[in-house]
C-alpha cells in the first residue's frame, strides 16, 4: 500500500545534504545536488527527486557515476562548445553545461553546449528553469538507452529522449515544457504501477503486443503521437550525438547500464532581442488568451509549468508529499 506523508522542504534538503556529504561530495556541489533533488520533489516530480535519490547514491558508491569527475570543454566553436562529462554526476554536468550556454548567449545572443559522456540528469526541467531564471529561453534534451519501440514495431529501439523548452516570465512562474517522447514518463509509469491506478489513455504495449492503460502490464512504452513521437525521438538522439561527438541510443544500449549519454543545451538571451516589458507583455497576452478558452468537463486549461509551479508553492507552505518507503530509505542511508 502506498503511504504518503508530508515533509518540510528544509528537512528534505537537510537530509539530502547529510547523505551527499557522507557519500563524499562537498562545498557547492553538495548544495546544488541537494537543492535539485529537493526542488524536483517540491514541484511534484518525486520520480526524479526523492524516489531517485537512493539509486543515485548507490550509483556513486558502485562507481557507475564518478563522484570526482566533472564536465569540461573539449572544443570551442564560437557560440557553440563541445563538452565531455567524463561520466560524472549528471545533475552537476547539466547545471554547468546550461550555465555555460547562458554565458555564451550573453555574448552571442544564442549559446549552445553539446555534452557527451554524461550520466542521468534527473528532472530535465531543472535546466530549462536555470535558463529562464537568467532571463533566457532555454531548450535542452538528452538521449537515453532503448526504452520504446519505433512506430510500427514492437522491439525497443528508441530512447524516450526528454525535451525541455522554457520561456521566462518576470514573476518566476515560467512556461516550462518538460516532456519525454513516451506517452507517459518512466517516473509516472512507476507510480501508477505501484498504485494500480490506470492511465486515462493507453501508455504502452503489454506482453501480447496489445495497448493497455495498466502501467504494471506495460513492457514497451508508446511513443507520443505514434509516428510523430517516434520520428522526433530518433532525430533528437542523432542531433545530440552528432553535435556532442557522443553516443547514440543504439551505442548506449550495448552497455550494461545507461551511461555515457549525449545532451544539448541551448540558451537565447532575450535581453538582446527587445525591451523586457514588451517581451513579458507578449507572453502574458498569449497565456491569458489560452486560459480564457472553455474547458472540458472536469478539466482546467493550463499552460506548461503552471501546475508544477502551484505544487511548488503548496509544498513550501504545507510540506512536500513523499512516499514513506522512499523517505525511510533516505533516513537510513
DSSP codes of every residue in 179-231: E-SBSS-HHHHHHHHHH-PPPSS--EE-TTS-EES-GGG-SEEPBTTTHHHHH
Q: Which of these is catalytic: 48, 120, 174, 192?
A: 48
* Measured distance between the N- and C-terminal CA atoms of the chain, rounded to whole angstroms: 23
CA 227: distance to chain centroid? Answer: 23
Q: Are 219 and 212 in contact (CB under 8 A)?
A: no
Beta-bridged to residue 112, according to DSSP, are 80, 266
- The span from the CA of 289 to the CA of 147, in Å, is 37
Handedness of CA 229, 231, 236, 237 (dihedral sign): positive
φ, ψ (nearest 5 deg) of residue 277 = -65, -40
Q: Are 155 and 194 in contact (CB under 8 A)?
A: no
- The span from the CA of 42 to the CA of 312, in Å, is 5
Q: Are 153 and 220 in contact (CB under 8 A)?
A: no
Can you read off the three cell numbers belonging to residue 56? Answer: 543515485
Q: Is 226 a catalytic residue?
A: no
- The span from the CA of 148 to the CA of 156, in Å, is 5
- The span from the CA of 220 to the CA of 206, in Å, is 7
What are the catalytic residues? 48
Amino acid at each position: 500500500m502506498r503511504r504518503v506523508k508530508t515533509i518540510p522542504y528544509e528537512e528534505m534538503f537537510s537530509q539530502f545534504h547529510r547523505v551527499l556529504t557522507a557519500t563524499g561530495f562537498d562545498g557547492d556541489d553538495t548544495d546544488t545536488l541537494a537543492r535539485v533533488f529537493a526542488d524536483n520533489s517540491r514541484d511534484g516530480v518525486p520520480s526524479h527527486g526523492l524516489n531517485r535519490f537512493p539509486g543515485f547514491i548507490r550509483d556513486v558508491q558502485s562507481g557507475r557515476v564518478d563522484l570526482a569527475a566533472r564536465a569540461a570543454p573539449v572544443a570551442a566553436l564560437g557560440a557553440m562548445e563541445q563538452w565531455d562529462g567524463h561520466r560524472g554526476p549528471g545533475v552537476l554536468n547539466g547545471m554547468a553545461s546550461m550555465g555555460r550556454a547562458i554565458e555564451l548567449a550573453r555574448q552571442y545572443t544564442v549559446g549552445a553546449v553539446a555534452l557527451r559522456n554524461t550520466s542521468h540528469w534527473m528532472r530535465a526541467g531543472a535546466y530549462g528553469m536555470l535558463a529562464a531564471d537568467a532571463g533566457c529561453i532555454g531548450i535542452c534534451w538528452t538521449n537515453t538507452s532503448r526504452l520504446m519501440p519505433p512506430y510500427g514495431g514492437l522491439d525497443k529501439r528508441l530512447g524516450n529522449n526528454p525535451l525541455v523548452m522554457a520561456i521566462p516570465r518576470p514573476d518566476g512562474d515560467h512556461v516550462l515544457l518538460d516532456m519525454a517522447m513516451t506517452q507517459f514518463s518512466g517516473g509516472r509509469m512507476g507510480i501508477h504501477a505501484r498504485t494500480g491506478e490506470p492511465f486515462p489513455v493507453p501508455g504502452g504495449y503489454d506482453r501480447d503486443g496489445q495497448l493497455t492503460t495498466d502501467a504494471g502490464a506495460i513492457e514497451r512504452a508508446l511513443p507520443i503521437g505514434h509516428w510523430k513521437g517516434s520520428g522526433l525521438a530518433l532525430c533528437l538522439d542523432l542531433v545530440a550525438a552528432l553535435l556532442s561527438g557522443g553516443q547514440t541510443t543504439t551505442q548506449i544500449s550495448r552497455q550494461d547500464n545507461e551511461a555515457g549519454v549525449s545532451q544539448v543545451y541551448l540558451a537565447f538571451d532575450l535581453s538582446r532581442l527587445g525591451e523586457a516589458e514588451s517581451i513579458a507583455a507578449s507572453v502574458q497576452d498569449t497565456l491569458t488568451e489560452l486560459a480564457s478558452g472553455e474547458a472540458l468537463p472536469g478539466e482546467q486549461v493550463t499552460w506548461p509549468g503552471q501546475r508544477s509551479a502551484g505544487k511548488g508553492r503548496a509544498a513550501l507552505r504545507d510540506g512536500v508529499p513523499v512516499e514513506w518507503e522512499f523517505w525511510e530509505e533516505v533516513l537510513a542511508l
